[in-house]
Amino acid sequence: MSNQRSIPRDDDLLLQDFSRNVTNKAWALFFGNAAIVSAIPLWLFWRIHQMEITSYFIHFIIGTAISTYFLNSAYQNMKFILKHKIAQKREEAINREITKLFANDKNANKKDKDDRILARKNEVADFEATTFSIFYNNAFYLVCLIVLSFFVFKNFSPTVNYLFSVGLSTAMVFLFSTGEK
């Protein structure tokens, strides 16, 4: 009974590898980053577009909350897409690293070595995909926001400017995060 219920370690790693779910740590990292990046434009709109916080705090709260949610989703989407590609690209280097590590260990068998390679590949791909997803989505979000806010919606009222700039930037980042090209 207990054998049927316990999942072998390599299957566990494979499930984790192909799963869209993120760990709690990754989720906290994504959420924190999304919240900070969503809050950055508030300073721009407050100081440059002269939107007083006391008068527009409801707009700001709604805009920041929606932006945080969709940015978080964009990070996760892009991470999932990038992770497999990164794993393929790093496979050779990781094989070399683990082979060198196991070269002097005569007791190690092939299964242990493969498990180790898989775990290491998963770890490296996970980390690189997470950080690159955050970096790319942030850069794209901020470019879209500056273009929309200071060029496209420049002559609109501050409220319209804020809602449309943040909304459209968030929408574009979320939309393009699912693309594979």
Partner 1 sequence: MLCLSSTIFTFLALLAFAKGENCESPQFKITSYSTKDARLTAESAAQVEITVKCKNGKQPSTLYADINGQVVPCAQSAGSPGKYYLGVSAATHKQLAKGRTSVKLYDDDTYSTLRKTRTDDAAKAVKPFGEVDFYHPGASFGPWLPSEFIAVIGFGLVWWAAYRERSKILA
Contacts with partner 1, residue ranges (CB under 8 A): 81-82, 85-86, 89, 132, 135-136, 139-140, 142-143, 146-147, 150-151, 180-181
Task: Quote the least distance from Cβ 159 to partner 1, whole Å.
Answer: 19
Q: Which is nearer to partner 1, 22 or 129 (CB)?
A: 129
Task: Quote the least distance from Cβ 95 to partner 1, whole Å.
Answer: 19
Task: Quote the least distance from Cβ 147 to partner 1, whole Å.
Answer: 6
Q: Which is nearer to partner 1, 97 or 128 (CB)?
A: 128
Q: Which is nearer to partner 1, 39 or 108 (CB)?
A: 39
Task: Quote the least distance from Cβ 65 to partner 1, whole Å.
Answer: 24
For the chain, the three-class secondary structure string (H helix, E strand, C coil) is CHHHHCCCHHHHHHHHHHCCCCCHHHHHHHHHHHHHHHHHHHHHHHHCCCCCHHHHHHHHHHHHHHHHHHHHHHHHHHHHHHHHHHHHHHHHHHHHHHHHHHCCCCCCCHHHHHHHHHHHHHHHHHHHHHHHHHHHHHHHHHHHHHHHHHHHCCCCCHHHHHHHHHHHHHHHHHHHHCCCC
Q: Which is nearer to partner 1, 150 or 164 (CB)?
A: 150
